[in-house]
Amino acid sequence: MDALLGAMSWYAALPAAVMVMIGIFLVGLLLARLKVLDALRSAIYVAAAIVGMNAMVGMFAGAATPVLQLVVESTGLKLDIIDLGVGSSYASVLFPLSFYSILLVVGLLVNVAMILLKFTDTFDVDVFNYSVWALAASYVWVITGSIPLAILAYAINEAIVLKFADLTAPAIEKAYGLDGVSIPHGNAVIFAPVGIFVNWVIEKIPALAKIDWSPEKIEERFGGMVSPSTIGFVMGIVLGAAGGKDFGQTLLLGITIAAFMIVFPRIENILVEGITPVADGMREICTKKFNLDLHIGLDAAILIGMPDVMATGILVTPFILLLAFILPGNRVMPMADLAIAAPFLISCCMPYCKKNIFRGLIAGIIVMIITLYVCTATADWYTACAAMNGLPFESTSTTLGICSSWVAWGIAKVFALFA
Select from 219, 370, 390, 416 the one that contacts other proteins (CB under 8 A): 219
Q: Is 321 exposed, middle or buried (0-12, 13-18, 19+ CB in 10 A)?
A: middle
CB nearer to other proteins: give 135 or 156. Answer: 135
- Minimum distance, C-beta of residue 15 to other proteins, in the bound complex (Å): 25
Stretch touching other proteins by CB under 8 A, among 23-31, 109-117, 272-280, 350-358: 272-280
Of 24, 138, 140, 60, residue with least CA distance to 389: 138
287 belongs to the binding site for other proteins (CB under 8 A): yes
| 8 A C-beta contact, residue 141 and residue 412 | no
244 belongs to the binding site for other proteins (CB under 8 A): no
Q: What is the DSSP letter of 405?
A: -
Helices (H), 145-288: 147-176, 192-203, 206-209, 215-222, 228-242, 247-287
Looking only at the bridges linking them, the beta strands covering 122-124 and 181-182 are unpaired
Stretch touching other proteins by CB under 8 A, among 5-13, 28-36, 54-62, 175-183: 175-183
Stretch touching other proteins by CB under 8 A, among 93-101, 174-182, 252-260, 372-380: 174-182
Q: x-or-dash pattern for other proteins, window 82-121, by CB under 8 A? A: ----------------------------------------
In three-state secondary structure terms, 121 is coil
Can you tell me the distance from the alpha carbon of 82 to that of 260, in angstroms, rounded to the nearest whole number? Answer: 15
Contacts with other proteins by CB under 8 A: the residue count is: 37
* AA identity, residue 105: V
List of residues 6+ apart from 51 with CB closer than 8 A: 17
| 8 A C-beta contact, residue 321 and residue 333 | no
Stretch touching other proteins by CB under 8 A, among 146-154, 220-228, 356-364, 381-389: 220-228
In three-state secondary structure terms, 332 is strand
- Minimum distance, C-beta of residue 305 to other proteins, in the bound complex (Å): 3
CB nearer to other proteins: give 98 or 371. Answer: 371
Binders of other proteins among 305-344, rule CB under 8 A? Answer: 305-307, 310, 340, 343-344
Binders of other proteins among 223-242, rule CB under 8 A? Answer: 223-224, 226-227
- Minimum distance, C-beta of residue 224 to other proteins, in the bound complex (Å): 8
List of residues 6+ apart from 351 with CB closer than 8 A: 168, 171, 172, 174, 175, 176, 192, 195
Of 95, 93, 67, 69, residue with least CA distance to 81: 69
128 belongs to the binding site for other proteins (CB under 8 A): yes
CB nearer to other proteins: give 129 or 405. Answer: 129
Q: Which residues pair with 83 in a beta bridge?
A: 398
CB nearer to other proteins: give 173 or 394. Answer: 173
Residues that bind other proteins (CB under 8 A): 125-126, 128-129, 176, 178, 180-181, 219, 223-224, 226-227, 265, 268-269, 272-273, 276, 283, 287, 296, 298-307, 310, 340, 343-344, 347
